Amino acid sequence: MVKLAINGGEPVAKDLVNLVPRWPVFDEDDVRAVVEAIRGGRWCRLYQGSYAERFETEFAKYHDAKYGIAVANGTVSLELALKTIGVGLNLGDEVIVPAYTFIATASAVTEVGAIPIFADVDPQTGNIDPRSVEKLINERTRAIIAVHFGGYPADMDELTRIAKRHGVYLIEDAAHAHGSEWRGRKVGAIGDMGSFSFQESKSLTAGEGGIVLTNSDELADRARLIHNIGRVIGQPGYIHYILSSNYRLSEIQAALLLSRLRKLPSEVKVKHENGKLLADMIKRTGVVEPTRPDDRVTTRGYYYFVMLYRQEELNGIPKEVFIEALRAEGVPVGVSYGPPLYRQPAFKRENLAKSVPRYILERMPNYEELNLPGAEEFARRELVLPHYLLLAPREALELVVAAIEKIKEHADELQPLVSKLKVSDTTIDVTYHRM
């Protein structure tokens, strides 16, 4: 008799761990690049022709942008973009952000002295809903941050129109979207500025790191000044033109990123094709469905492969129980970030009072009263697989589908677990990513 692995049966996807690359991946070229940077003896980018400068040029070119400014991590890249466009210089500045994303999209706003305003998201994609954005714009709105969730580009047509119509800046949070394309153009510089992360789990990584992209000469010059403590890179002496902080990326990380960037286009291509294949396969199970297709999304540079759970197709089994059953079968499934941001403890009034100046706190909305239907539905249904699973051969994708189908066939075995199974954490983290 076949039993689900969660009940002691044989995991149907037990061989998946041997088919999926261990992340992060690297090769001898990457090792040589780092060693050369170390032996070069110049580990800070403060010279012409640095690794960081070369990486900025090459990454910007790859992402169809004129300029790139490399920084220490993806969170400060958002802060740099916001500071560059002047957010936070006026009391009460507001920035519209999606209600479902990693918290840095919103915390970057408070870090520069402004107020995050949560827009609803499309429950089929997790991306910011342009209709919700338009309703929230007022005289205090300085910018919109659009997250390309999981690598699926947000609706840049409509968001661009809204931003131009209201005279506000559009920033792309492309931390998930290395290589993603909207209408054949890579994301990151379609808006006024774009922000990327190179944290360990990202598609292009040096452990940490980030970059800001733009096509504006003026914004690029200002971003460079802000990111280097108000100094002009390459100019001798200690002349500081503005008061600022240090956002610079190290040369060792930049050398690794330069090496890894050479492999990124082929990896993006493989993931895009395998993503389409897996989407077709899982849709047939009926238990989960892929995010809604959009012909304007011409390439998906995945960070997450996002699926939407159909609880009614599994006899009402809660998503958390389905996740544990699928994990037991050998599939590294989870959720991305849990609840919508306005439900995070950080946005409780009592906790905001500990981290936000009073003059900003007094102007903030009561986040605890929010209940945005798109974000709530997406959080309720969302499941994710890590991007590097899409670098595995077709056999690996078939094992994922086989595990889902096995659980569907034996769903009655899960019913006794509903009341007694305690699920402490269904998010995917880096250690789980490593399989």
| Residues identified as active-site | 102, 173, 176, 199, 202, 231, 238, 248
Q: How far apart are CA 105 and CA 95, in angstroms?
A: 10
DSSP letter for 119, please. E
d(CA 223, CA 209): 16
Q: Say how far residue 17 (Cα) sits from the centre of its chain.
A: 24
Order of strands, sheet of 288-290, starting from the edge strand that comes earlier in the sequence:
288-290, 304-309, 382-386
Closest C-alpha among 432, 337, 333, 324 to residue 385:
333
Task: Give the closest residue to 86 by CA, choosing from 197, 213, 192.
Answer: 192
Separation of alpha carbons 334 and 282, rounded Å: 16
Rounded Cα distance between 170 and 192, Å, is: 5
Give the HSE-up count for residue 175: Cα atoms under 13 Å, Cβ half-sphere. Answer: 23
Tokens of 69: 């400014």
- Determine the 3-state secondary structure of 144 from DSSP: strand
* Residue length of the chain: 435
**Sign of torsion, CA 363 364 368 374?**
positive
Residue 412 Cα distances to 12, 126, 322, 381, angstroms: 18, 31, 12, 20
Provide the CA 6 distance to its chain's centre, in angstroms: 31
Question: Among residues 223, 194, 196, 207, which one has the least CA distance to residue 69?
Answer: 223
Closest CA to 421 of 127, 2, 4, 1: 4
| Helix pair angle (264-283, 394-409), 10° resolution | 30
Q: Angle of helix 217-227 relative to helix 74-84, nearest 10 degrees?
A: 120
